[in-house]
Amino acid sequence: MRNLTHRKRRHKDCGEHRCYLTLEDACHNLLLLEHSQDRIRRTDDLGTNQLNVYRCTNCHEFHVGHIPAPIRHRYRLD
């Protein structure tokens, strides 16, 4: 029987988020996403896509996602 830590690591609760092993890989894909035609059509009035790279607490790998709403409001990124 495998230990529980290994079992939890294998069972990811990240949904459909794509996992990146390194921060560099996630940042590279962030740039590709920001310059894709689909993202350019959906940008806000400020011209930013409001994407960021973060480390997941479940799988301990990196994901690309939107900036959380409380942070956007605090720093007036909306």
pLDDT of residue 1: 47
Per DSSP, the residues of 51-78 read EEEEE-TTTSSEEEEEPPHHHHHHTT--
Taking CA atoms, 27 is separated from 3, 19, 54, in Å, by 33, 12, 10
44 or 5: which leads in pLDDT: 5
Confidence of residue 9 (pLDDT cuts 50, 70, 90): low
CB hemisphere CA count around 6 (13 angstroms): 3
